[in-house]
Amino acid sequence: MVNKFNKGLILLIGLLVVITGCTAQPVQQQQPVKEELPSTGGRLRIGIIGEVKNLNPFFVETEAERDLADLVFDGLIRLDKNLKPIPCLAKDWKVSDDGLTVVFTLKDELYWHDGERVTSDDVIFTFDMIFNPDLKISLRDELVNLASYEKIDDSTIKFELFQPDPGFLHTLTLKILPKHLFVGNDDNPQELDKNVNKTEEKRQSLNKAISDFDEKLVGTGPYQFIVWDREKDIIQLKVNERYCIKRPYVDYIDLVVYPGYEEAKKAFMEDKVDVVPLKIVDWTLFQEIEDVSTYQFPDTYYEFIALNLKKELFKNKAVRQALMYAIDREKIINETLLGTGRIVNSPIPLSSWVYNHDITNYKYDPERAIDILKKEGWLDTDGDGILDKDINGDGKREPFEFDILVNEENDIRCQAAVRIQKNLQDIGIKTTISLKKWREIVNFHVDQRKYDSVILGWDLDSDPDLKFAFHSSQIKSGYNFVGYSNTEVDELVVKARRTMDEMEQRMILLRAQKILNEELPYIFLYTKDRLLASKEKVRGIMPNPNGFFWNIHEWWIPEAYRQPEEHDEQN
C-alpha cells in the first residue's frame, strides 16, 4: 500500500518593497494573518462516477454506490489511517483469552437519522439479514468463521468464533441497518426475523421492505439521505447533527452521478461540481489549474511481476534479487504514473500498522545486478549481448531470456512492461512481451501455471493476510500461482491468522515480510495512488487508504465561498 501523500498547499507571502529614488519610504507594518478556523455551513457538490442502482449497503456493486454507503451508514468499527480497527458505533470491545469470544459495547446516545435509538437489536437484525439464505449477500462469505452472535443487553453484543481470527474485526466495518424499518411495517406487521424464509408471505414482505428502504435510506453516518433525483442523477444529503464521531462541518452534500470519467471531468471544469476523482492522464493538467487542489490517496493495491518459480531460470533467489536491482521502478512511477505512485518492497501496504520499514529497498542499481548475476555464473560467453549459463547441468549454456505476459487492456501496465524490458536488456537479459486478453491470461496461463512471468496486481483488504498468496497449501489450486514454498513462512502466516494479540500479530508479520522481501516470490513494482481534485474552497481533505470520504466530517468551506441559498435545504 502506499503512504498518504497530500498535495500540500504552501502559501508564499511575498513582501513587496518599493524604492523610489534615494528617498527612504515609510514602511507599513504588516498585520499578522489571522488563520481561518473550520466552521459549519455550506453545500458541497461531489461528482461520482459509475452507475447507481442500489442504495442499500448490502447490495452495492459499483464504486459510486459504495461512496454513498460510506456517507450514510456506519459499522461497529472503522479503520484509522494505518488500517487499524478503531471504534465507530462501538464504544469498545473485549476479546477473550482464547480469542473465540468478542464482546462489543455500543456508544451511548446513538441515533438513527430518523431519531430512533440504535440498540443491539439493530446489530443482531443486520447479521440475521446477512445470513438469510433468501438473500444474496456477499458479506456472508467473509463471515464463515462466525459461529454465533447474540444480544446480551440493549448495548452489548457477543460474537463467538470457530477459531481466533484477527480479520474478524476488519469485517465489522460492515454497515449496520435499522431493524425498525424492516420489521413491523404497515404492509405486514408480522416481524421479519431470521426464519423469514419459512413462508412465502414473509419472503414477499422482506423483499418489499428492502425495496422501500431504497427510498428511505436511514443510517447513522455523517450525512443523511434527503432525496434521489433520478432524472438529474443527483442524490441530496444533509448533515447528521448527532453523528457519533462529531458533527460534520458542511451542511449539505449533492452527489452528482456521471456515467463516465469524461463527463465528470467536464462538469468540474465548468464549475458544476466541487470535487471529482482524477485519472493519471490528467494529473499534471489539474495541478496547473489555478484554485484547484489535487490529492494523492494511497491505495491497498500494488503491482508485481509474478515469476513461475518452477522454472529453473527463477529458482535462485539471488537471480530474483538481481532482477529487482535491474528495474528502475522510480522511473516507471515518474514517467508512466506521472509521479502518482510509490515503490513497494513488501506485500503489506506501506501505510499499514504492520508494515516492516526495516527491509531492503532494492534501489535501482544495474551494476549491482550484473555483479550478482556474474557470481551466479551468468556470463555472455558468445558475445551476443545476452547472458548465458548451464542451468540444467547438461553442459549446454542457455540464454537468459523469458516471456512477460501483459493484459493488453491495461495501458499503464503495457507501458511499464516496455520500460522493464529495456532495463533487463541493459544487463544482458532478453525478454519478449506478450500482449493478451485478461481472461485468457487468467484462464490459460495463471490458473494452469503455464507462463514464465506475468505482470499482475493485488487489491488487498485492510486485514493483513499473507496466507492466501504465499502459503504452500495454495500452490496447487489457490492464489500461490508462483509456486513459492517456505516452511517458516507457512508457519508464520498461519500464526498471524490465529492470534488476537495485536503486538504478537505485528511481530509475526514483520518477520514474514523480512523473509518475503529477501526471497522475492514476486518482483515487487509499485502501488498507484487514487487521485482527487477539489476546488480551492474545499478544506480539510486528508488522504489516507480508507477512501476519499474517510474524514468527510472534517471537510469545510470558508464562509466567504458559501452561497446564500446554501443555508436552505433544497428539495
Spatial separation of the C-alpha atoms in residues 167 and 165, rounded to whole Å: 5
445 with 454: CB under 8 angstroms? yes
- pLDDT value for 198: 52
**Beta pairing, strands 453-459 & 401-407:** parallel
Question: Euclidean distance between the first and final Cα of the chain, in Å?
Answer: 41
Residue 517 burial by CB count (10 A; 0-12/13-18/19+): exposed, middle or buried? buried
Angle between helices 366-375 and 317-326 (to 10 degrees): 160
CA gyration radius for the chain? 28
pTM over 0.75, yes/no: yes
- State the pLDDT at residue 136: 87
Cell numbers describing residue 480: 500461490
Total number of residues shown for the chain: 571
Render pLDDT for 232-290 as a digit per residue (tens, 0 to 9): 999 999 999 999 999 999 999 999 999 999 999 999 999 999 999 999 999 999 999 99
Question: Which set of grid coordinates corresponds to residue 488?
Answer: 517458516
Q: What is the pLDDT of residues 91-147, one digit of tens each?
A: 999 999 999 999 999 999 999 999 999 999 999 999 999 999 888 898 899 999 999
Task: From 1, 7, 18, select the one nearest 538 (Cα to Cα).
Answer: 7
Average pLDDT over the chain, rounded to whole? 89
pLDDT tens, position by position, 39-64: 999 999 999 999 888 888 998 888 88
pLDDT band at 194 (very low <50, low <70, confident <90, very high): very low
pLDDT(449) > 90 = yes
Q: How many other C-beta atoms lie within 10 A of the C-beta of residue 296?
A: 23
Tens digit of pLDDT for each residue in 359-380?
999 999 999 999 999 999 999 9
Q: Measure the CA angle with vertex 258, ends 527 and 64; round to 5°.
A: 55
Q: What are 197-227's pLDDT values in tens digits?
A: 455 677 777 777 887 887 789 999 999 999 9
